[in-house]
Structure formats: structure tokens, C-alpha cells
């Protein structure tokens, strides 16, 4: 099993619902977040293009955050989800430095926190909170090894890219372009 | 004329983004003191193995008194940096071969007690009135003195591991392009050895010893300058993100502090003074020593600060 997410940059309107849903679902403290929206504007008027991306942890196959963790608090669970065990984390910040996507942050309680692909919802057969609320249905989630999953189907017929592939982390967020 | 403009309005998360520069003064202080300790220990071990304890008395017996202090202060700085401090003991419930920080934690676990034992083994010799009070401590001291040569070997080896580790701690992060160069391990080791020599040199009252240390220090400074050029050349020949990282020192915001305080005042000028001293001019030893010690400290600060603003672009 290999969980992954596809984000349709043509359908995303940048409403921020995914951000709020995540904050609510995961009790993210005020002023922090595990996912966010990037607006990427290229060109000058009148030839301007905008790309909207809902970003979060890439749950990389070759995850530097897991490798550099001195205590083993950062680890990978079933489906390739990168997680942090809070009471093993010493808050050294190594994983925050190691992430090319700045996907981790220091929780006010001291430990490092990040997106979990809502694995507590996956266990109940639900989709991640951000995917469930997206009003334009631009987020596709599922198992890459299952050809009938939403994410596999979304990637089949569209052009896609990953962010900073040169970082060598084998990220698992696919942006449909 | 450029027709295209690129705007990236990134994230605007008040409590996350300003804090991604998660390492502040504690880390450079710790890396610096670790390097300094490694430098002093390396040469204390080296001159012991070469049977030069008499000629190099300060290097072997007195300068190591700085090491336990440097390591304890360094470790305390590291502890202050932790955000989940009550769980620091988790470092010692596992060994993570892929994590430089785990290597460092375990190295310090070996180096710190060793530095205390080394100093303790010289207490009676240096302070004839010293009394250990308990018989068991006297026996332990006799044992430490007996195995001093083995300790010297261990110190040299562990000093190299410690010195290299202070660089690899940074270079292992490919997400921070300025740090992501394999030169950094050996560069920080060399810088640490140089600061260690400077400290011993400053403390020494023997002209012969200062001369030996000063010659060694000149070699270290030469290697350091070569490695810094090597590092910048490597960046300029690499990918966009590393070219941009190098430009922080070549016209960018860290140019002045890097060239003035690290290269000129921290390396070239003290090296010139050392050469003049060896040629027979009288130069107070504290001037080059202090400059080298400050230069090493500034270097750690510059690398840690500058590295955290370099990143992949996408």
C-alpha cells in the first residue's frame, strides 16, 4: 500500500477550506497549520498565470526527516505515512531543518507536529479531512498501488508534477497541471 | 528587457514561518565549543602519544582543563535549544546510525567523561596539595594515570569524530543548500583544531611550546582557507540553489561579516601575526589567539544563520 494525494491546480480556487478543516479535525493550535495554500503567480499583466496549490507533508518515500531523527520519534507507518510520536520527540528541530517543503512545525507543547494524512480517519474508512471538505473536489486521495483508487485514476489521464524532485525525497503529493 | 516577472506569494502562517529558522544562538555556540574541545583534546592526545608531555606541558596538562567546561556549557546550550526538554533522555534509548545528531549525542556521552578523567589524572601533579579524600578515588586516579596513553589514543580518535560531527550535523541536511556540502565536516574539524591550538597557545608560557603550536596553527589556517575556497567553488559549480547559497557570501547579505570577521580578522590577519612572530618580531600571543577564537565563533554563527535562509525553490 502506498498512500498518495493528487491536487488539481486547475480546479483549486484557494478558498482555504482544506486548511480550516485540518485545523478543526486535528486540534491544530491557533496560528498554526499542517496544510496551507500557495499562490504562484507568473508573468506580468496582461499575460499573467496563477497556480494555486494546496500543500502539506509530501510523505516522501525517501524521507530525510525520518533519517535525521535522533530518537526515532519520526517514523513511517503502513502506507508510507510519515508520523511523529509526540512523547519520543525531544524538539531538537533536525527534522524541520531537513524538510525541503517546510511541512513540519514546532507545536507550542514542544514536540514537532505535521500532517498525518488523517490516518485516524483512514482507519475508519474515511478520507482525510482536507479531501472530504474540498468544495471543488480538487483533492484526490488513495492507494497508488490500487489502479481504481481516486488518486491513481486522477494521475492516469493528466499531466502532473511533484515539488522539488531534485531534492531526491520522492515526494508523494502530485500536482495536476 | 525582461518581459516576465515572477511573484510567489507563499504561505502566511504567523506562528509557523518565522520559526522555521528554528536554530538560534544555542546551536552555533554548541558547535563552536564542541570544535574547541575537540581541538584541545586532539593535540593533548597527540603530544602525549609523541611523549612530549614535558615540552608541551600546557597543551597536554593545562589546556584540557578547558574541555570539561566547554563541553558542559555546550551541552547546556544544546539542551536550551530543545523544545521538548523533559524528553531529552530519549536520545539515549536508541542508536540511529543515519542520524548525525544521534552520533553526536553518543560521542559526547563518551567524550565528556573522558575529558573529566583526563583532567583528574593530572590534578595531583599540577596541584601537589590536592587530596581526593576517598581511597577509591585515589585508586581510580592511579588507574587513570596507568592507562593515560590509551586515553590519549581514545581522545584523539573521539576528537576527530566530535570535530567532524559538528560539521556533518549541518551538512546532512540537503534541504538547506548552504550546509549540504561534504566539505563542511572536515572544514569544521580543521577550524576546531585551529581554535584548540589558539587556546593552548594563549595559555602557554613556554616559548618553545608556543612556537610549535603556532606552526601547527598556520598549517590549520592554510587548510581552512583552502577548504573554504573549495566549498565556494563547489557551490558555484553546483545547481541553482547552491549557486544562490554561495552568493550569500559573494555579494549577498553575509558578505561583509564573512570576509571581514571570518576570513580576514579570523584567519588571514592572525596567520600574518603568527608568521611575523616566528620571524622574530615580538607580538603578544593573545592577539592572534583571540582573533582565531573569535573568528571560529563568528564562522559558526554565519554558517548556521545563513544556511537556514537557503532552500529549494519551487
Domain spans in chain A, listed from the N-terminal domain onward: 3-176
Mean pLDDT of B110-118: 97
Cell of B160: 576527530
pLDDT at B14: 67
pLDDT at A41: 81
Dist. CA A88–CA B46, nearest whole Å = 39
Q: Is the pLDDT of residue B167 over 50?
A: yes
Mean pLDDT of A26-54: 87
**Would you tell me the crossing angle of helices B286-309 and B207-236 to the nearest 10 degrees?**
20
Query: Per mean pLDDT, which range of A13-17, A51-55, B6-10, B13-17 is the poorest?
Result: B6-10
User: Which residues does residue A42 pair with via DSSP β-bridges, in sequence order?
Assistant: A49, B6
Which of A:33-92 have CB within 8 Å of B? 33, 36-44, 64, 67-73, 87-92
pLDDT: which is higher, A22 or B12 = A22
pLDDT at B182: 93
Cβ contact, residue pair A42, B83, below 8 Å = no
SS3 A138: coil
pLDDT at B19: 54
Contacts of B276 (CB under 8 A, 6+ apart): B283
All structural domains of chain B with their residue ranges: 23-309
Mean pLDDT of A51-62: 94
Dist. CA B168–CA B182, nearest whole Å = 8
Residue pLDDT, tens place only, A118-131: 999 999 999 999 99
pLDDT at B1: 40
Q: Is the pLDDT of residue B6 over 80?
A: no
Q: How confident is the model at residue A43 (pLDDT cuts 50, 70, 90)?
A: confident
Cβ contact, residue pair A41, B173, below 8 Å = no
Cβ contact, residue pair A98, B312, below 8 Å = no
Give the DSSP per-residue string, B141-174. HHHHHHTHHHHHHHHHHHHHHHHHHHHHHHHT-T
Of A68, A164, A165, which to mutate for an interface test with B (greatest number of B Cβ within 10 Å)?
A: A68
Q: For A128, how many CA atoms within 13 A lie in the half-sphere containing its CB?
A: 32
Residue pLDDT, tens place only, B12-53: 666 666 556 789 999 999 999 999 999 999 999 999 999 999
Residue pLDDT, tens place only, A88-134: 999 999 999 999 999 999 999 999 999 999 999 999 999 999 999 99
DSSP secondary structure letter of residue B25:
T
Mean pLDDT of B252-257: 96
Residue pLDDT, tens place only, B178-229: 999 999 999 999 999 999 999 999 999 999 999 999 999 999 999 999 999 9
Cβ–Cβ contact A170 with B under 8 A = no
Exposure string (b/e) for A5-24, b if CB count within 10 Å is 16 or more? bbbbbeebeebebbbbbbbe
**Cβ-nearest to B4 among A44, A106, A163:** A44
The closest of B234, B217, B307, B193 to B270, measured between CA atoms, is B217
Cβ–Cβ contact B139 with A under 8 A = no
Dist. CA B215–CA B226, nearest whole Å = 17
Q: Is the pLDDT of residue B11 over 70?
A: no
Show residues of chain B in contact with A36, CB under 8 Å: 11, 13
Mean pLDDT of B138-163: 95
Show residues of chain A in contact with B83, CB under 8 Å: 90-93, 106, 110-112
Q: Using a pLDDT cut of 90, give the percent of chain A over it.
A: 86
The CA-atom distances, in angstroms, between A42 and each of A158, B137, B256 are: 22, 72, 33
Residue pLDDT, tens place only, B76-96: 999 999 999 999 999 999 999
Mean pLDDT for chain A?
94
Q: How confident is the model at residue A31 (pLDDT cuts 50, 70, 90)?
A: confident
Class of domain A3-176: alpha beta
CATH assignment of B23-309, among 1.20.1630.10, 3.40.50.170, 3.40.50.720, 3.30.360.10? 1.20.1630.10
Dist. CA A106–CA A104, nearest whole Å = 7
Cβ–Cβ contact B22 with A under 8 A = yes
pLDDT at B2: 44
Contacts of B163 (CB under 8 A, 6+ apart): B34, B35, B38, B39, B42, B188, B189, B192, B193
Mean pLDDT for chain B?
92
Amino acid at each position: 500500500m502506498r498512500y498518495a494525494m493528487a491536487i488539481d491546480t486547475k480546479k483549486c480556487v484557494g478558498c482555504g477550506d482544506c486548511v480550516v478543516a485540518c485545523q478543526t479535525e486535528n486540534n491544530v493550535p491557533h496560528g498554526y497549520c499542517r496544510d496551507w495554500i500557495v499562490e504562484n503567480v507568473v508573468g506580468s499583466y496582461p499575460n499573467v498565470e496563477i497556480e494555486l496549490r494546496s500543500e502539506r507533508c509530501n510523505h516522501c518515500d525517501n524521507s530525510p526527516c525520518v533519517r535525521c531523527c535522533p530518537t526515532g520519534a519520526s517514523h513511517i507507518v503502513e502506507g508510507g505515512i510519515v508520523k511523529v510520536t509526540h512523547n519520543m520527540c525531544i524538539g531538537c528541530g533536525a527534522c524541520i531543518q531537513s524538510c525541503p517543503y517546510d511541512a513540519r512545525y514546532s507545536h507550542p507543547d514542544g514536540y514537532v507536529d505535521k500532517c498525518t494524512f488523517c490516518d485516524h480517519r483512514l482507519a475508519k474508512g474515511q478520507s482525510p479531512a482536507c479531501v472530504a471538505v474540498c468544495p471543488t473536489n480538487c483533492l484526490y486521495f488513495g492507494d497508488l498501488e490500487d489502479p481504481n483508487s481516486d488518486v491513481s485514476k486522477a494521475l492516469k489521464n493528466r499531466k502532473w508534477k511533484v515539488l522539488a524532485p531534485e531534492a531526491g525525497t520522492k515526494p508523494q503529493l502530485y500536482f495536476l497541471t | 528587457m525582461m518581459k516576465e516577472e515572477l511573484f510567489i506569494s507563499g504561505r502566511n502562517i504567523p506562528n509557523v514561518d518565522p520559526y522555521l529558522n528554528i536554530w538560534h544562538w544555542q546551536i552555533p555556540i554548541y558547535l563552536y565549543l564542541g570544535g574547541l574541545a575537540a581541538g584541545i583534546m586532539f593535540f593533548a592526545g597527540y603530544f602525549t602519544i609523541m611523549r612530549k608531555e614535558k615540552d608541551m606541558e600546557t597543551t597536554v596538562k593545562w589546556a584540557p582543563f578547558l574541555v570539561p567546561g566547554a563541553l558542559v556549557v555546550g551541552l547546556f546550550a544544546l539542551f536550551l535549544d530543545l523544545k521538548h526538554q523533559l524528553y531529552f533522555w530519549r536520545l539515549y534509548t536508541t542508536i540511529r546510525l543515519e542520524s548525525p545528531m544521534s552520533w553526536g549525542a553518543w560521542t559526547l556521552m563518551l567524550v565528556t567523561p573522558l575529558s573529566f578523567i583526563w583532567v583528574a589524572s593530572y590534578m595531583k601533579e599540577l596541584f601537589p596539595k590536592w587530596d581526593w579524600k576517598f581511597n577509591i578515588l585515589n585508586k581510580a586516579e592511579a588507574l587513570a594515570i596507568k592507562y593515560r596513553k590509551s586515553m590519549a589514543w581514545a581522545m584523539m580518535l573521539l576528537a576527530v569524530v566530535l570535530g567532524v560531527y559538528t560539521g556533518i550535523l549541518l551538512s546532512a541536511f540537503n534541504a538547506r543548500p548552504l550546509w549540504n556540502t561534504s566539505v563542511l565536516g572536515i572544514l569544521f574539524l580543521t577550524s576546531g583544531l585551529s581554535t584548540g591550538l589558539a587556546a593552548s597557545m594563549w595559555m602557554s608560557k613556554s616559548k618553545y611550546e608556543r612556537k610549535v603550536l603556532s606552526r601547527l596553527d598556520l598549517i590549520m589556517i592554510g587548510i581552512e582557507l583552502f577548504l573554504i575556497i573549495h566549498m565556494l567553488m563547489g557551490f558555484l559549480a553546483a545547481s541553482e540553489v547552491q549557486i544562490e547559497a554561495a552568493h550569500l557570501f559573494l555579494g549577498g547579505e553575509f558578505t561583509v561579516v564573512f570576509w571581514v570577521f571570518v576570513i580576514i580578522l579570523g584567519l588571514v590577519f592572525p596567520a600574518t601575526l603568527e608568521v611575523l612572530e616566528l620571524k622574530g618580531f615580538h607580538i603578544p600571543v593573545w592577539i592572534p589567539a583571540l582573533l582565531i577564537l573569535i573568528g571560529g565563533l563568528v564562522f559558526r554563527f554565519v554558517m548556521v544563520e545563513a544556511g537556514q535562509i537557503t532552500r529549494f525553490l519551487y
